[in-house]
Amino acid sequence: MVDPFAPVPAYIQLADALAERIKSGSLRKLMPIPSETSLQQEYGVSRGTARHAVALLRERGLVFTVQGRGTYVGKPPNA
């Protein structure tokens, strides 16, 4: 759960939490991370904030996203 009163923005807290779950191995390579709506409920944030957090992970190269499928840990298999 994200702390809405913390000085660090919710989307960063969420991104860090997910990065930790990946680093710890609880989310493994090529496995899907929770959907945006799941993150919304699990962490008590809006979908926009969840999307923002996932976008950060994408910029860091930790995950890749496929429309209609989901977001996965690691780098895209092909291309």
Partner DNA sequence: GCGGATTTGTACGTATGTATG
Partner DNA sequence: GCATACATACGTACAAATCCG
Q: How far is the CB of 32 from DNA (least distance, A)?
A: 7
31/66 with CB nearer DNA: 66
Which DSSP helix (H) or strand (E) runs through 52? helix 47-59
What gap in Å lies between CA 1 and CA 10, rounded to an integer?
Answer: 10
What gap in Å lies between CA 12 and CA 73, rounded to an integer?
Answer: 18
**Nearest to 21, CA basis, from 69, 57, 52, 47:** 57
**Binders of DNA among 11-50, rule CB under 7 A?**
11-12, 32-33, 35-38, 44-49
Q: How far is the CB of 24 from DNA (least distance, A)?
A: 20
Amino acid letter, residue 15: A
**Binders of DNA among 47-76, rule CB under 7 A?**
47-49, 51-52, 54, 65-71
Q: Which residues bind DNA (CB under 7 A)?
A: 4, 9-12, 32-33, 35-38, 44-49, 51-52, 54, 65-71
